[in-house]
Structure formats: structure tokens, C-alpha cells
């Protein structure tokens, strides 16, 4: 009886570890280093995320042109999952910058252009059984990012029009 309890305890304890291992890391180690180097500079970080998403979009475009195969579908599935995760990570960063009242208007212009490009890419991507769910998740992430970017652009323009002395700030500092 104790052996059975010990085995069950081990299975329950290793479950979260297995889930963590299968969670994709959307950034390469080099990209992680670049994000770390950008530090707390919100404009630089947003610009890097846009660049990294464009790089992912280029990979997805190149895979679309390849002949249909199970390996291609599996690779597209993985790339779309990473693409979604990266968009979600960017959205989380935008939430932080919004709360901090960081002036990221310069980066939002490039981001607005990027989300439109990514939306076109995802709409043009043929849906196939091998990556259908990942495609839908990527479309949802992109739509969320489009809405967030539009709202943030409006909020930033209004805030910095009302507070011109705080233009270019990294974070809100009570005065």
C-alpha cells in the first residue's frame, strides 16, 4: 500500500514538471539577451519584439511555400505557437508600460504596422489539420494585440496631450 502511495505521489509531483518542459519558449537565447540588454527602455523593447515577430512571420512565410507534408505541418504548428506566445508576451509588456505611463508612442507606429502585416499573413495562411488550432490561437493573439495597440495609442495620445511635461518618460513619477 505504501509503495502504491509513493508511486502516485511521484506521478502527481512530476506532472507540473512535464507541463513546464512542453511550454515553448518563443525567444531564442540571443533574443532573450537582446531583450535583457534593452533593460527597462520600453521603446527599445517594443521595437525588439516587433522585429522578432517579423522574423517569425518570415519563417512562417517560408514554410507556406514548401510542399505539404506532416513535417511541414508540425513545424508550422510549432512556429505558430511561438508566434502566439511572443505576441502574448508583447501584450504583457504593453500592459506594464501602460500602467507605468511610459511614452511608447514612437514604437506604437511600428507596432500598428506590424499587427496589420501579421494579420494579413495569418489570414492568407491555408488552414490545415496539422496546425489548425495553432493558427486560430495566433489569430486570436493578433486580434487581441490589434485591439490593445489601438487602445494604447488612443490612451497615450490623450495622456501626453494632457501632460506634455512627461513626454519621453520611461515610467510615471508622482510629483
Domain edges within the chain: 40-164
Q: What is the pLDDT of residues 140-170, one digit of tens each?
A: 999 999 999 999 999 999 998 998 887 776 6
Instruction: Give the tens place of pLDDT for each residue, 109-128.
Output: 999 999 999 999 999 998 78
**What's the distance, CA 111 to chain centroid?**
12
Residue 2 · residue 10 · CB < 8 Å: no
Whole-prediction pTM value? 0.81
If you write DSSP's letter for every residue of 61-79 in order, what string do you get? HHHHTSPP-HHHHHHHHHH
Q: Cβ distance 130 to 77 under 8 Å?
A: yes
Count Cα neighbours of 150 within 13 Å in the Cβ-side half-sphere: 7
pLDDT at 19: 45
Output the average pLDDT for the chain: 86
Q: What radius of gyration do the chain's Cα atoms show?
A: 20
Amino acid at each position: 500500500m505504501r509503495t502504491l502511495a509513493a508511486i502516485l505521489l511521484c506521478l502527481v509531483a512530476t506532472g507540473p514538471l512535464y507541463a513546464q518542459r512542453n511550454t515553448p519558449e518563443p525567444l531564442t537565447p540571443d533574443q532573450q539577451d537582446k531583450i535583457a540588454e534593452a533593460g527597462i527602455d520600453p521603446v527599445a523593447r517594443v521595437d525588439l519584439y516587433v522585429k522578432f515577430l517579423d522574423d517569425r512571420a518570415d519563417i512562417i512565410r517560408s514554410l507556406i511555400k514548401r510542399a505539404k507534408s506532416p513535417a511541414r505541418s508540425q513545424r508550422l504548428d510549432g512556429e505558430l505557437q511561438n508566434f502566439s506566445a511572443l505576441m502574448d508576451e508583447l501584450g504583457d509588456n504593453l500592459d506594464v508600460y501602460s500602467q507605468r505611463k511610459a511614452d511608447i508612442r514612437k514604437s506604437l507606429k511600428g507596432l500598428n504596422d506590424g499587427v496589420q502585416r501579421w494579420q494579413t499573413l495569418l489570414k492568407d495562411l491555408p488552414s490545415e489539420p496539422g496546425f489548425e488550432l495553432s493558427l486560430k490561437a495566433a489569430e486570436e493573439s493578433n486580434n487581441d494585440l490589434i485591439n490593445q495597440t489601438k487602445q494604447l495609442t488612443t490612451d497615450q495620445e490623450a495622456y501626453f496631450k494632457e501632460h506634455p511635461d512627461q513626454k519621453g518618460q520611461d515610467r510615471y513619477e508622482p510629483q
